[in-house]
Structure 1
Amino acid sequence: MKRYLQATKLVDFNHQSIQYLIAEKQWKQIKDDEKIRQIYDYVRNEIKFGYNRRDDISASEVLKDGYGQCNTKSILLMALLRGAGIPCRIHGFYIDKRMQKGALTGITYLFAPKKIVHAWTEVYFNHEWQALEGVIIDDSFLDQVKDKLCSFNDGHIGYGISIKNKEQINLCWQGESTYIQSFSITDDLGYYDNPDDFFANYHNTNGFIKQYLFNFMRKRINKRLDLIRDGKW
């Protein structure tokens, strides 16, 4: 398990801001199941669903931003879990971009690849690996969009959500895996000890032009997501 507890460039749990948060919340002093639950809840609801400048940014930068998507929230979640002594790894996928419609709009959605690089954190608990994909969407955002999801392939998609049954969404961690985008997975890219290795091989913004356009548009997108979250859309 030692390799699932190491710090990396992206999983920088030795950064002062992350160490301060872990100490403030006293996450090292509680039982493992409560550690996982509290850290998961923190990243899910205190770090809002939104778009960072890149997928491969450090956990400390995600924490500073105060928002994130599947890939960046997974990095922060891993850093907090490892910093509190919980083994975890990353599981990578490609996912159909149609589930992002509504969250991404206009030219940003147009230029997004058909298959988006997607990752979730897996935590080792009760002698098994559990997926924590549900960390992506905060409750405030979910409450506003769950009735706006589109029917697709016997499921429901949209606004960064892709689930089989929208009436049975439960993102609370209760000792089992949680999912919120998995219904749109197209390809399994395997398991990685850390996100550094995964994002060295897979990322969503190939090329300078796409990177520039995304960074130009993402602040506007995040403002729109806040309007949705506040019920002002």
Structure 2
Amino acid sequence: MDNYLKETKILNYSDGSIQHLVSTRNWMGMEIVERAKSIYDYVRDEIKFGYNLSDDISASEVLKDGYGQCNTKATLLMALLRANGISNRIHGFTINKALQKGAISGIWYMLSPKNILHSWVEININSNWYFLEGVILDKEYLTKLQAKNNDCKTTFCGFGAYTDNFENPPIDWNLNNTFIQDKGINQDFGVFDTPDDFYAKHQQKLGAIKKCIFRKIVRHKMNRNVERIRNGW
């Protein structure tokens, strides 16, 4: 289990900003289930849903940004859990780009790859593994998205969500699996000890030009669209 606690370049939990957060939240003073739940809730709701520069940025960079998507939130969640003695691993997938429609639109949506790299964190508590995909969308954003689409109670796809239970998706953790994008999964890469290992083998299917356009233009448009939903527009 030592591999599930080690620090890496991406999981840089000895960074001062992460250590300061760990200290101020007093997570180590909590019982392990409460500790895991508090860390999970922090990453889900206090790190807003949004699109970072790239998937493989470090945990401290995600924390500095204050927002993240499936892969970058997974990185920060793993680092915080490991910094607090909770074993975890990453499970890699691809998902259909349809779940991003609305957050991205027009020519940018058409140019994006059909399959998008995706991941969730799996934690080990009392010898059981739990899947924590529901950390991706902050509750403020999800609540506004539900209000904007209040006629939908079951399957919803778009704006960062793909779930069969849009009215009450399983995003709260208490010794259970959580999900919010899992219905979009179309390829399973298996589990990896660290995101460093995962990204060494799998990357987004973007050429150099498209990657540059995403970083400089598209992700900012996506973040503005997400913020419009969060603000109730």
Q: Percent identity?
A: 47
Q: Deviations over 1:145-180 (max 9, x none)?
A: 1253998xx832111101112223131111111000
**Structure 2 unmatched runs, 5+:** none
* 1:202 Cα deviation from its structure 2 partner: 1.4
Q: 1: CA distance between counterparts of 2:192 and 2:151?
A: 32
The equivalent residue for 2:189 is 189
Deviations 1:23-79 (A, max 9, x none): 010111211101111100000011100000100000000000000000000000000
Residue aligning to 2:35 = 35
Q: Does the CA-based 8 Å contact 1:150-1:157 persist in structure 2?
A: no
Cross-structure match for 1:231: 232
Give the secondary structure class of the aligned counterpart of 2:19: helix
Residues 54 and 205, structure 1, Cα contact 8 Å, conserved in 2: no
- Aligned partner letter, 2:230: R
Q: Is contact 1:205–1:211 with CA below 8 Å preserved after alignment? A: no
TM-score by length of 2: 0.94
Asked if the contact 1:49–1:136 (Cα under 8 Å) also holds between the matched residues in 2, the reply is yes
Cα displacement (A) at 1:205: 5.3
> 1:79 is paired with a residue of what secondary structure?
helix
Gaps of 5+ in 1: none
Q: Distance in 2 between matches of 1:94 and 1:221?
A: 19
1:219 aligned partner: 220
* Amino acid corresponding to residue 227 of structure 2 in structure 1: D
Q: Distance in 1 between matches of 2:97 and 2:165?
A: 19
1:90 matched to 2:77: no
Give 3-state SS (helix, strand or coil) of 1:168's partner.
Answer: coil
Mean alpha-carbon deviation: is it higher for 189-198 or for 27-36?
Answer: 27-36
Aligned to 1:52: 52
- In the alignment, the residues of structure 2 paired with residue 47 and residue 205 of structure 1 have an alpha-carbon distance, to the nearest angstrom, of 26
